[in-house]
Amino acid sequence: MNKSIPVLAIDGPSGSGKGTLAARIAAELGWHLLDSGALYRIVAAMAVRRGLDVEQEQTMCELAQSLDIAFPDGRVRVDDLDLTDEIRTEDIGVMASRVAALPAVRAAILELQRNFAQAPGLVADGRDMGTVVFPHAGLKIFLDASAEARAERRYNQLKNKGLSVSLRDLLEQIEERDARDRERATAPLKAASDALLIDSTQMTIEEVCTTVMQAATQRLL
């Protein structure tokens, strides 16, 4: 791992807004972006395509190692397939959380994630960016929000896409996924001891971006 490349690590539960935050900060700084959740989603989606059992650790590990993954112009390309939309469904999200609980899969994609640290810098978003993948990151953010606020944001996103969903079901799914991500033995979702904690429940995305850009200017630039 090249520790001279500056890294901004953003961790937090699903729906906290970290994906949007990471993309905006990366664009503002002109840095590379790693959406690490997409990697677990890709493994889950490819397992579904190939009819593999996502609970089989060795099989999932071999699958993760065999994939040729690239993110050209914000799209998701795996081998010769475009999986940009396919990996974003709720079902794949739930399966990705099961795949992400397998230590062998996490180990298999560790180097792949670290290779995203290229000049002039990297904004990495996930659950263990500051704790496991980039423990030397110059700035670590832990972005949280209440489960209710996160369910409501997701509900509005899906509604805007014309999809009909139940807010109560979404809240249940979010709480279930949180529990699995926080309680797993390997690389559980938790704030690094040196992370800047931000609770976005009552904040707009603009307010969160301003806070993070101020911290980035002080600590990274």
Residue ranges binding ligand DC (CB under 6 A) = 14, 36-37, 40-41, 93, 96-97, 100, 126-128, 177, 181
Q: Decide whether 193 or 218 has the Cβ nearer to ligand DC.
A: 193
As measured in angstroms, the least distance from the Cβ of 52 to ligand DC is 17
As measured in angstroms, the least distance from the Cβ of 36 to ligand DC is 4
Q: Decide whether 32 or 177 has the Cβ nearer to ligand DC.
A: 177
Give per-residue burial for 36-55: e unless 16+ CB within 10 Å, then b.
bbbbbbbbbbbbeeeebebe
Q: Decide whether 144 or 181 has the Cβ nearer to ligand DC.
A: 181
Q: Decide whether 36 or 121 has the Cβ nearer to ligand DC.
A: 36
Of 145, 155, 143, nearest to 215 (Cα)?
143
According to DSSP, residue 209 is labeled: H
As measured in angstroms, the least distance from the Cβ of 53 to ligand DC is 18
195, 124 in Cβ contact below 8 A? no
As measured in angstroms, the least distance from the Cβ of 220 to ligand DC is 20
Tokens 């905006």: give the residue. Answer: 24
As measured in angstroms, the least distance from the Cβ of 128 to ligand DC is 5
Residues in the chain: 221
Q: Decide whether 121 or 126 has the Cβ nearer to ligand DC.
A: 126
Query: What is d(CA 20, CA 23) in angstroms, rounded to the nearest whole number?
Result: 5
- Please report how many Cα atoms fall inside a 13 Å half-sphere around the Cα of residue 43, on the Cβ side: 32
